[in-house]
Homo-oligomer: A and B are copies of this chain.
Amino acid sequence: MHDLSAPAPLSPDELEAALRRIGAERYHNLHPYHRLLHGGRLNRGQVQAWALNRYYYQSSIPAKDATLIARLPTADLRREWRRRLVDHDGDAPGTGGVARWLKLAEGVGLDPAYVQSTAGILPTTRFAVDAYVAFVRDRSILEAIASSLTEMFSPTIIAERVSGMLANYAWITQETLAYFTPRLTQAPRDVNFALGYVREHARTRAEQEAVLAALRFKCDVLWAQLDALHHAYVAPALIPPGAFTPEQT
């Protein structure tokens, strides 16, 4: 018998609609730093700060995915998630998403060794990204998978970003932005699996609320990174002690 005092579960379609509403309200394409970036209104140092800090996020994604693979109970699930490791780490030196992001950072004028050292990133970048890895380690597998669902919204942001950056920054080339091209097909494939998993496995209202909270958490992780960039490099432009300081140009 259904407990009348507990809220009724959502249907899978209602759950998906609730996930999409979170994206519409909280995804970081709504953040001013994103709008400044793709609108061509950042200077070179501000674009460098974005590429430098975002490298820490990109290079932590394989740790996040391996953490989840280590917890998945079946070979089927692990193989499915392993594709993400391959996407990010590649099959040979210099291939894969992390290497392509390093190329992007180099393309906007940063020393790749400095980028890889992560010495100049904002402390908040590290705190936010590490919180994401810890979430995937410590929460339920359902919540860990749900936290990946920000990729539902990423094709839009990538399209805006690439076209905006190519149109507005003469010193940024298509080759520099090569990171993004495969993401346009990888992200929908990954979402297809993760969204299907969540639709099928989040059955009770409590599980569904946990899934929605996981997506809000992940939106916070992305938003907080842009907040920190915005505060340090745009307004009021207060760089924390020890963080990357753009050259005066």
Contacts and interface: CB of A to CB of B under 8 A. Distances in A.
Interface string A213-226: 00010011101100
Given A123-B224, A230-B231, 14 more contacts: A32-B236, A124-B124, A124-B224, A124-B228, A127-B131, A134-B134, A223-B240, A227-B231, A227-B238, A230-B236, A231-B231, A234-B236, A235-B236, A236-B236
A27 to B, nearest CB: 9
A236 to B, nearest CB: 4
Query: Copies of this chain, how many?
Result: 2
A69 to B, nearest CB: 21
A221 B122 CA distance: 11
Interface size grouping (class) on chain A: 20 to 34
Contacts of A228: 124, 224, 227-228, 231
A216 B119 CA distance: 12
A210 to B, nearest CB: 16
| Chain A, interface SS category | helix
Contact of A224 (B25, B127, B221, B236): B127
Given A230-B238, A242-B26, A220 B131 contact: no
Interface of A: 25-26, 32, 122-124, 126-128, 130-131, 134, 216, 219-221, 223-224, 227-228, 230-232, 234-236, 238, 240-242
